[in-house]
Structure 1
Amino acid sequence: MKKLLLLLFTACLFLTAFTCEDDATTTQEDELQELNASKKAIEDLAATSVCNENTMCKFIALGSKPCGGPWSYLVYSTSIDVEKLENMVATYNKKEADFNKKWGIASDCAYAMPPTSVNCENNTCVAVY
């Protein structure tokens, strides 16, 4: 009986010693830095767009407020990889919504108004409100 208990104890000790721990736990600050980096990449991509007679100016909702809706609208032209930008924004918006829920983030519930139109001025898309 003692041998069986010793064997069980050794097996449990062995299994406990080699269990995997989740070293990938992130803090709120880590996640916020990741969100900020993603947002900057999105804004940098949009900033490379230029408008002219061959491109069209557009806008897209950016961010996810805890109360719902976007934080702002990002203006860009079709001179860039629009599908890539839209995918980046969708991913960012989802991650920010998850972040808000996970960390209990609060904000004002003011509605961010979309532009009424977007014009091309000096090869740059400009939002009109």
Structure 2
Amino acid sequence: MKKYLLIVLVLYLIVVAFKCESDDGLVTQEDEQTELSILKTEIETLANTSICNETTTCKFIAFGDKPCGGPWSYLLYSTSINTNELENLVEVYNKKEKEYNTKWGVMSNCAIVTMPTNVECENNHCVAVY
């Protein structure tokens, strides 16, 4: 799984380093969407590598930024991974998505995503409780 994360990170760096620019030198909406998609995959991959057991704790974090307000979802993970790295990546992603939404006038539904009341460990995976 670490190989996969490394591959995603390398691809992200390549896209950022050699991203196509429009004729007027400005980054396009498609460029920014690609950057967000790569970062989202990196975050989800890291969270999905986490496992839970009697020595770890399950947690959740608001993930994404809906144009109408609030997160798109809540990401589940455990303390078996580098939680500081994950939380920092999510913070960067949420900020970039908010800027993207504002810059490009993105619309969404205004449905409120229910926040878990708790997260429990079942079969070594964190499961949301509502």
| Structure-1 residue corresponding to 2:69 | 68
Q: Distance in 2 between matches of 1:79 and 1:24?
A: 43
| Structure-1 residue corresponding to 2:16 | none
Q: How much has 1:67 moved relative to structure 2?
A: 1.1
Residue 88 of structure 2 is aligned to residue 87 of structure 1: yes
| Structure-2 residue corresponding to 1:100 | 101
Counterpart of 1:120, as a letter, is C
Q: Distance in 1 between matches of 2:114 and 2:39?
A: 23
| Structure-2 residue corresponding to 1:35 | 36
Counterpart of 2:112, as a letter, is Y
TM-align CA RMSD? 1.3
Residue 57 of structure 2 is aligned to residue 56 of structure 1: yes
Q: Distance in 2 between matches of 1:23 and 1:62?
A: 33
Q: Distance in 1 between matches of 2:24 and 2:89?
A: 27
Q: Distance in 1 between matches of 2:122 and 2:111?
A: 29
Q: How much has 1:122 moved relative to structure 2?
A: 0.7
Q: Deviations over 1:34-61 (max 9, x none)?
A: 1011011000000000000100000000
| Structure-2 residue corresponding to 1:18 | none
| Structure-2 residue corresponding to 1:8 | none
State the aligned residue count: 108
Distance 1:49 1:23, change over 3 A: farther
Q: Distance in 1 between matches of 2:45 and 2:85?
A: 13
Q: Deviations over 1:63-106 (max 9, x none)?
A: 00001110000000000000000000000000000000000001
Q: Distance in 2 between matches of 1:47 and 1:25?
A: 35
Counterpart of 2:122, as a letter, is E
| Structure-1 residue corresponding to 2:117 | 116
